[in-house]
Chains A and B, each alone.
Chain A
């Protein structure tokens, strides 16, 4: 049982490049979400999903796309990277949409130059 796995751990992109941050969980959790964390700040919600085929926007969705084709995977896509997207990205999963704890991955540190 690996929990929530994020890949890659580190990535450097050039402005305008695209990439996908991967997130996988093996706990059969329905609810998954993506956050970004900028220096000295708390986590801000980007997108979330309450189940396969269902996604919705969080606080800061602009510049990011998501899809949820399986329960296990919830990739985050940057279509055209910008320096403002330099951040640490965290994926989280929760068993159900309810009062249960969320499990977080160890993060992907992205730098856009």
Chain B
């Protein structure tokens, strides 16, 4: 599975959109991009995943560039409860390999 690169930390003002970037320049054609988050060392929580089209659900939006070498997770109106570590993972159907993720802090 391809490797991902994420900034170690980010801040976001409460109520504003949080945009979390992820680089996956070696992604293969059959690999999906997944996003998970982990709050206070709880079990990771699924957010969203996609292949090449942009995706949106009740939690977030996923924007994947046309060349698929990078993506952005968007939390449209961040709240304090969105403070967590966010993991970007690329996967072709095998195991989930986690990096160190981005620690997002939502500031009041």
> Which A residues are within 8 Å of any B CB, using their own CB?
4, 33, 35, 37, 40-45, 48, 58-59, 88, 90, 92, 97-99, 101-107
Q: Known contacts A99-B32, A99-B91, A101-B34; decide if A90 and B43 are in contact (CB<8 Å).
A: yes
Q: Is the CB of B94 within 8 A of A105?
A: no
Total number of A-B contacts with CB less than 8 angstroms? 53
- In chain B, residues 26-67, which have Cβ atoms closer than 8 Å to a Cβ of chain A? 32, 34, 41-46, 49, 51
Residue of A nearest to B95 (CB): A45
A100 to chain B, nearest CB (A): 9
Which of chain B's residues have a CB closer than 8 A to the CB of A43?
44, 96, 98
Residue of B nearest to A3 (CB): B43
Interface of B is mostly: loop
A43 to B45, CA, bound (A): 13
User: Which 8 A-B residue pairings sit nearest by Cβ, starting from the closest?
Assistant: A104-B43, A42-B98, A101-B46, A43-B98, A98-B93, A104-B44, A42-B100, A99-B32
A98 to chain B, nearest CB (A): 5
Q: Known contacts A41-B100, A42-B100; decide if A58 and B95 are in contact (CB<8 Å).
A: yes
Residue of A nearest to B97 (CB): A45
Q: Is the CB of B46 within 8 A of A102?
A: yes
Q: Is the CB of B32 within 8 A of A107?
A: no
27 A-B pairs within 8 Å (CB atoms) are namely A4-B43, A33-B96, A40-B100, A41-B100, A42-B98, A42-B100, A43-B44, A43-B96, A45-B95, A45-B96, A48-B95, A90-B43, A92-B43, A92-B44, A97-B93, A99-B32, A99-B49, A99-B92, A99-B93, A101-B34, A104-B43, A105-B43, A106-B42, A106-B43, A107-B41, A107-B42, A107-B43
Which of chain A's residues have a CB closer than 8 A to the CB of B92?
99
Residue of B nearest to A35 (CB): B98
Which of chain A's residues have a CB closer than 8 A to the CB of B49?
99, 101
Q: Does B7 contact A (CB under 8 A)?
A: no
